[in-house]
Amino acid sequence: MRTSIIKKLVIGFVFFSAVLSSCSEAFLDEKPLDFLSPENAYTTETGIEQGITAIQNRIRFVYYTYGSFGTMNWATHGSDVGFNGETPDRGSRYLNSYRDLTPTFTPVVDHWVRGFEIIQWANVLIDGIKKADATIFTQGEAGKNAYLAEARFFRAFIYRHLVSTYGDIPLLDEPTTKAKTDYVRAPVAEIHKFMEEDFKFAAANLPKPGEESAPGRVTQGPAWHYLAETYLEMGNAQEAVTAASHAVNDYDYALMTERFGNRLGTDILGSGDAYFDLFGYTNHNLPNNTEAMWVIQVERGTSDETTINSAYIYGPRYFDIALTPDGKKATLGTFYGGKYTGISDTLSRPCANGRGTNLVHYYIWKDNWDNDIRNAEHNLRRNYYYDNPESAYDGHKIDFKLYEGTPYPRTNPLDDTIRLMFPTFMKFHDPCNYTVQLPRAGSGNTHKDWYALRFAETLLLRAEAYLGINRPDLAAADVNVVRARANAKPVSASTIDIDYILDERARELYGEEWRLIALRRTGKLIERVRKYNDNPLCPGAHIEEHNFRWPIPQTQIDLNIDAEFPQNPGY
């Protein structure tokens, strides 16, 4: 049975709440004996483990939710690969239009607040570990450094997002213990140097892959990966090649090329492949899954049971197609509780929150439409069928042209393709394996784990670094490892460029990578959003040059009364 990393969260949360709410000198002067505090929480290895657990849980929240601090605002929205199809116009709570990107926009505020919250938690933990005697750790000094490395990894990982998003930001290397009104913005280069040191320490002191104490714990491989990414941000491509090569060469990572895991013999969609199997329930943590580098954990059937909203986010609202062309209910769905639910148990209940652009649905596949397995119907579903035996159209492919000349016309063509029907990436779904909210086939929730990092991404990152040192031959070689697994035609050294790599990232990592970070890092954000974000109500996402960075939350500026805290230009 998998060992959970979130079994003792209550203690951790009580402690961190106390830290974050402490603003008075009187509180800080107390000598706590019978409640958790910075002075007594990290005097044992168990307490330090609970501190790591609390941060892990907060990182998990980043990946699992679809709200203001969730995946959509990093993985798709406001980028070249997606927008909110459920409410595509301005005024959405998500980033459809950069004209909504103001200093009071909810994602702007929440990304800042939640990000620095995690950094505060990490700093408190780092401070506690440093003060702890090495003898309290089972592995002595090495054990102490391993915990310190994990905390520093998470601190740098969150700074990775914040510095990309906001530019110059406060550099906090120790806990904040009282109200502070004189923060200053450190230059981006200083933040990157700070991240470099954290990731280097993590790479040297984290356990090797396979030696971590539980699934989901961070190891050396991800640290090398994000160190390489940091070097690219710093403009040091040669160091990026070196760091990425450690991740590629020092461990036993490899792309999965043979079928594996629990989907063998149970292909709900009629076929499958190794890429399809990567996203099967329980397959992420299998020992023979050599592609998984860092997996965010979901717990099922325990007191800590959690779900991920990926099936809710990514996929069309097919169930809102009310009638067939001959006036029958279009989708009966599964039979539960003595009646048909109207919801399919292969797609669950998506809401079109994450609607891909034509770039990811069509353009990037045109040269390999029939051979790239990532474009196969079981991986990228394009066809949907009427489901009602009472209709003459039962089992026929849904086609809105069929309604022409009938009493049941489609009244809103925009809804047809933006909300109700568009290709859906099956990696986000868990066909016929939904176990919560059964009347709605899981209501968009799955119990699958989630890849924070796969080896394919490391190969594509090193390819980017090879381009930076003018070695397109080596860049093409790394990209072709990914393409070979997909049965796609290889790219030549004369053809490959940064746009090609970004396209390949979209093919391989759609919805997994934090797309806005990749676009900023490569200097392609403005250009590609204008070119490919084809939201019909917000073309090009209304992006302007100054939108390269987000605004600083107005509350941060207003409360920082004892030091200048300038707003980013253009806001």
Q: Tokens 């060469």 belong to which residue?
A: 249
- For range 239-267, the mean pLDDT: 94
**Can you name the residues that pair with 451 across neighbouring β-strands?**
295
- Cβ pair 447, 309 in contact under 8 A: no
Which DSSP string do the residues of 114-157 spell out, in sequence order?
HHHHHHHHHHHHHHHHHHS-GGGSTTHHHHHHHHHHHHHHHHHH
Q: Which two tokens stand for residue 35?
A: 């409640």
Question: Which of 252, 323, 329 lies closest to 291 in space, CA to CA?
Answer: 252
pLDDT at 54 over 70: yes
Q: What distance in Å separates the CA atoms of residue 105 and residue 275, rounded to the nearest whole number?
A: 37
Mean pLDDT of 205-230: 97
| pLDDT number for residue 270 | 84
Q: What stretch of H or E contains 58?
A: helix 45-64
pLDDT in tens, 408-432: 877 688 899 999 999 999 999 998 8
- Which of 17-26, 30-39, 264-273, 354-363 shows the lowest per-residue confidence on average (mean pLDDT)? 17-26
Pick the CATH number of 453-535 from 3.30.70.270, 3.40.190.10, 1.25.40.900, 3.40.50.800: 1.25.40.900
Do residues 162 and 112 lie in contact, with contact meaning Cβ atoms separated by under 8 Å?
yes
d(CA 534, CA 356): 9
**d(Cα 358, Cα 377) in Å, to the nearest integer?**
17
Q: What angle do CA 162, 296, 523 make, to 5 degrees?
A: 35
The neighbour count for residue 32, using CB atoms within 10 Å, is 13
Q: Which two tokens stand for residue 166?
A: 């906001």
Confidence of residue 17 (pLDDT cuts 50, 70, 90): very low
- Residue 444: pLDDT band (50, 70, 90) is confident
How many residues appear in the chain?
571
Q: What is the pLDDT of residue 218?
A: 97
* pLDDT of residue 24 exceeding 90: no
pLDDT band at 439 (very low <50, low <70, confident <90, very high): confident
Helices marked H in 234-309: 237-249, 274-277
The alpha carbon of 221 is separated from its chain's Cα centroid by a whole number of angstroms, namely 18
Cβ pair 433, 446 in contact under 8 A: yes
CA dihedral 69, 75, 80, 83 (to 10 degrees): -60
Determine the Cα–Cα distance for residues 442 and 22; give it in Å rounded to an integer. Answer: 41
436, 443 contact by CB (below 8 A): yes
Cα–Cα distance, 409 to 368 (Å, whole number) = 35
Whether residue 50 contacts residue 151, with contact meaning beta carbons closer than 8 Å, is answered with no
Q: Which residues, in sequence order, are bridge partners of residue 356?
A: 82
Sequence ranges of the domains in the chain:
310-448, 453-535
Beta bridge pairs of residue 385:
397
Whether 432 and 345 have beta carbons less than 8 Å apart is answered as yes
